[in-house]
Amino acid sequence: MALKDYQDMVHRCFRCGYCKFTSDYSYVGFNCPIYNKFRLESYSPGGMMWLIYASLVKEEIKPSKHLSEILYSCTMCRNCSQECKFQFNEDIVNVLKAAREEMVDKQLMPPMVGQFLKNVYDYGNPYRELKENRDNWAENTEIKHYEKGDEFLYYVGCVGSYDTASQKAARALGSVLKKSGLSFGILGSREICDGNEVDMLGETGLFEFLKEENTRIFKEIGVKKIVTLSPHSYNALKNSYSNEFEVFHYTQLLRDLIKSNKLDLSGGFEAKVTYHDPCFLGRYNNEYDAPREILAAIPGVELIEMERTKENSFCCGGGCGNFYTDILGGGEDTPSRFRIREAHDTGANIIAVACPVCVMMLEDALKAEGLENELAIKDISEIVNEALL
């Protein structure tokens, strides 16, 4: 919906600030990743609501570059919508998205955001990588392209396809699926961006195009069920695409495969593991159990929860294209570094994640914190893969 559809709501925010906390006050500090870093009132959900009202609804102040920096600093982790006590809470992220649409219309996006969108438009991925290299990660594996009759399309997404750290997860998941005996395939160089970030960044036109294009390809080759590596893809495909496809995040699928004894995990994985909930799996899609059930099923895994967990999980800072635009980057107070320190405090030696964006963000932060010798980041797909006999 466009901003005008929210005109009767935008001014309703009281800026009371509940949106900055966790739900149960279990954590001392702020759970809004941007306010936690910037600490000016502008960089908070309420501040944004008021500024959107002032600049884009009431036109008291002129939309500017700085406004754009503020609006695009948010990762849309959805903590605010969850914690806001008022009836309009769901609309907080929607209003922000609608405001970003206006910024795109006015061509006021921060340069890196513009670059992100342009790259996706030109290349089908934000990295300006060639389409034909999209499945380079699958070389020398048994992972094949999707063929008619395969039960699942394995949709990898841009980050899993191109980012070195995340490619490991992509391969691991492929290997696990293979061992389960499931019939599946990838799109290879025909895969293009799912558009989740594009949508969140307010480029509606491009998102519509990606949606149509992806849907066309899926239909053309007869896809019915999709399993995604990334919760971001999962969110877009499940909630914004037509409902003719059955979409799973891979943790849901693996959980079911384990339950029906299709995966023999008796190889085990000896580690103290803490699990970081990705926003697009958790707060957006309410899936907190599947990853934990998988970890619980692996012999040797000792799961230690972080202070902020499940619906109180703290965003890694990578959402809304931040893994590329890096608006939240720099300094000790970046969300990913906060999160690494929190994970370190649990005494775990593995941070398990279920999202290629989180993998990438947390890997970088781990290095910045200098904790590589004490902690390692592993996608759940990798852990499962190692535990398989």
Partner 1 sequence: MGREKSIYNALVDIVGEDFVSNEPEDLYLYSRDGGTTKPRGVDYVVVPKTVEEVQQIVILANREKVPITPMGGGLTLNGLVIPVHGGIVIDMKRMDRIIEVNESSRYVVLEAGVSQGALLSYLRKNHPDLQHSMPEAPSIATVVGNILIRGHGSLSQCGDNSNMLNGMEIVLPTGEICQVGSCSASPHWFGKGPLPDLAGLFIGWFGTTGIVTKASLRLYPRPEKRDMVLFVTQNPDLIPELVYKLTQTRIADNIGMMEQEKPEYMKGYQFTGVIISGDSEEEMDYKRKVLDKIPQTCGDGENKVTLLGEIPPSSKERFLEEPPFAAVAADFRKGGGFQYCAIMMPIEKVPEAWRRGIEIAHNNGMLFQCANQVMSAGHEVMFGYNYSFNRADEEDAERARKAMQETNKLGLELGGIPWKADLQAQKEIVEKMDPNTRELMKKVKKLLDPNGIMNPGNWED
Closer residue to partner 1 in complex, CB, 17/321:
17
346 C-beta neighbours (distance < 10 Å), count = 18
User: Which residue's CB is nearer to partner 1, number 76 or number 328?
Assistant: 328
Which residue in 51, 93, 343, 360 binds partner 1 (CB under 8 A)? 51
Q: Which of residues 26-45 bind partner 1 (CB under 8 A)?
A: 26-29, 38-42
* CB of 13 or CB of 380, closer to partner 1: 13
Candidates 15-23, 189-197, 319-327, 362-370 — which segment interacts with partner 1 by CB under 8 A? 15-23
How would you label 239-252 residue by residue, b for 16+ Cβ within 10 Å and e otherwise?
eebeeebebbbbbb
> By rule CB under 8 A, what string of x and - marks binding of each residue 73-102 to partner 1?
------------xxxx--------------
Helix-helix angle 164-180:356-369, to 10 degrees:
130
373 near partner 1 (CB under 8 A): no
CA–CA gap between residue 239 and residue 230 (Å, rounded)? 14
Q: Which two tokens stand for residue 187?
A: 């799109």
11 binds partner 1 (CB under 8 A): yes
Q: Is 309 in the site for partner 1 (CB under 8 A)?
A: no
Phi then psi for residue 97, to 5 deg, are -65, -45
Q: Is 5 in the site for partner 1 (CB under 8 A)?
A: no
Q: What sign for the dihedral angle of Cα 209, 211, 217, 222?
A: negative
Rg value, the chain, Cα:
20
Candidates 33, 55, 226, 253; binder of partner 1 (CB under 8 A) is 55
- Please count the other Cβ atoms lying within 10 Å of the Cβ belonging to residue 220: 10
By the rule CB under 8 A, 23 interacts with partner 1: no
Q: Does 310 bind partner 1 (CB under 8 A)?
A: no
Of the residues 1, 2, 8, 220, which one makes contact with partner 1 according to CB under 8 A: 8
Task: For the CB of residue 204, give the shortest distance to partner 1 in the complex, in Å.
Answer: 24
Cβ proximity to partner 1, 25 vs 139, nearer residue: 25
Instruction: From 99, 95, 101, 103, select the one nearest 9 (Cα to Cα).
Output: 95
Which one, 333 or 374, has the nearer CB to partner 1?
333
> Which of 47, 202, 291, 335 touches partner 1 by CB under 8 A?
47
Nearest approach, Cβ of residue 333 and partner 1 (Å): 9
Cα separation of 92 and 81, whole Å? 6
**CB of 3 vs partner 1, minimal distance in Å:** 14
Minimum distance of partner 1 from residue 325's CB (angstroms): 17
Are 33 and 317 in contact, with CB atoms under 8 Å apart?
A: yes
Query: Rule CB under 8 A: which of 56-75 touch partner 1?
Result: 58, 60-62, 64, 66-67, 70
Q: Write out the residues near partner 1 by the rule CB under 8 A.
A: 8, 11-18, 20-22, 25-29, 38-42, 47, 50-51, 53-55, 58, 60-62, 64, 66-67, 70, 85-88, 331
